[in-house]
Amino acid sequence: MPPEPLLVTTHIHTDGPIPGPHSLLTLTSAAQPRAGGPISTFGMNVRELPGATLHPGALRRWQRRPEDWLASRRASRPPAVAANAYLRWVERLPGEPVFVTDTTRPDYLFLYWYLVRFAGRWPFAAVVADPALRGQLGEPFCRLTGCRSTAA
């Protein structure tokens, strides 16, 4: 019998709309079977990419949340370290990992770019672009206070 798919949801914070010119700053994910709650979680702050810039729109959002900006920079890891730690986390999941995304959010775009760029590959068996399913699964825990009061 094939392994049960594990649905992985992700929540990120960035300093701009696209990876490369802008950076992934925080990454949290939760893995869970279709029925039941999370069985594994991942969380890490990521250092800015060399040469990347803070987008003016992101700057305005972060200026309204200075405590979250500081929290997102605390204990941040280099992009390659973060991407490889995430890859190892996905590979250790006890099932077939399926990435669940909402295409109106940048989670997939940033995570795909970072994993291919810094870890060399995309580890998910499939990607499901289903906002309703993503909503049912909920958000992975985010430590930033702005996650609980406004969109990140």
Q: What is the pTM of this model?
A: 0.93
How do residues 22-32 score in pLDDT, each as one tens digit?
999 999 999 99
Provide the residue range defining the domain that includes 31.
5-148
Start-to-end Cα distance in the chain: 40
DSSP-H helix ranges across 49-139 = 56-63, 66-73, 79-91, 107-114, 131-137
Number of domains the chain contains? 1
pLDDT of residue 150: 45
- The percent of residues in the chain predicted with pLDDT above 90, rounded, is 78
Element spanning 111, H or E:
helix 107-114
- 119-137 pLDDT, tens per residue? 999 999 999 999 899 988 8
Cβ neighbours around 103 below 10 Å, total: 13
| Cβ-contact 107, 12 below 8 angstroms | yes
pLDDT tens, 39-64?
999 999 999 999 999 999 999 999 99
Helix (H, G, I), strand (E, B) or coil at 29: strand
- List the CATH number of the domain containing 93: 3.30.420.10
